[in-house]
Amino acid sequence: MKALKVLLLAALLPCAVLASERNDLPSCYDRAKLPELKQPASGRELVVVVDQTIPMPTDIQKASWGQISRFVQPGDSVKLYSFSAFVPGEYLRLIYSGTLDTAASEEQRDDASTRKLRLLDQCLTQQKKAFESGFGAQFVKTLREARQDIPKSEIMSALRKVGEDMKTTASVNEHVILLISDMLEHSDYTSFYAANQIKAVNVAEEMKKAQQHELFADLGGARVYVAGAGLITDGIKQSYRSGKTMDALNQFWGDYFKHSNAQLEAFGTPSLSVDLN
């Protein structure tokens, strides 16, 4: 009966609170039964957000994975979200949430059991591979599940909810966001399409709409990297995107992120040519 009450209580808690406690990568210190040696996390968090309304080319998928793998270091936290639009069966999902361990110093290890330390070291050596295997599988699956037939793309609403979740991770002081999306908002609030074509975004007007509808997020001072901007689906009549159109799209999102307590570091149109930093 007590266990049932605990489960019922957990079901009533906000999703963001539950997300902050989740760790899909078991701690090596817990596995080796050396919790007293566990080190603080690095304070860095990588948040990967995948827009499932636009299938990404294979080269962008592979490049994004390479950037993630190079960025993540011991002690870092990593989350993977997917979103499309708030229609039946489609919503913002937290797919993966994990934190890698940091190695203890030799001085801290002095009084520990040799057998336990050996198990700890084996686990720490393999943990990055375990992360890449677990996170990587979910990342590939999330990208491959993208569909062109979802009628809406609610990018700003998704970012607002991601920001709400980020506030629950008190141990994090450095956020980096990798957003894999065409960045073409198409929601009840506004649309970057007109007559089934990408329209030239009026930055001032779109910023006004975002403010009126309270679509700005609080992204905790994050550095934001975008891959896939400007990609179009088969249903769009005009495949050509002018430099002027892409510049306006870049400017809008740069302004949006400034108003959302973040900094747009790179805007891949569509390829992201810099590493996460």
Alpha-carbon gap, residue 162 to 105, rounded angstroms: 35
Provide the pLDDT for residue 243. 83
Q: What is the mean pLDDT of the chain?
A: 87
Q: CB of 52 within 8 A of CB of 144?
A: no
Q: What is the pTM of this model?
A: 0.88
Indicate the domain borders of the chain.
42-92+127-267
Express each pLDDT in 59-92 by its tens digit: 999 999 999 999 999 999 999 999 986 555 457 8
Q: CB of 57 within 8 A of CB of 182?
A: no
Provide the pLDDT for residue 200. 86
Structure tokens at 260: 């959302």
Tell how many helices (H) and how many strands (E) occur in the chain.
Answer: 9, 8
Q: How many CB atoms sit inside 10 A of residue 210's CB? A: 20
Third-level CATH fold of 42-92+127-267: Rossmann fold (3.40.50)
Provide the pLDDT for residue 60. 95
Express each pLDDT in 226-263 by its tens digit: 999 988 765 544 454 678 889 999 999 999 999 999 99
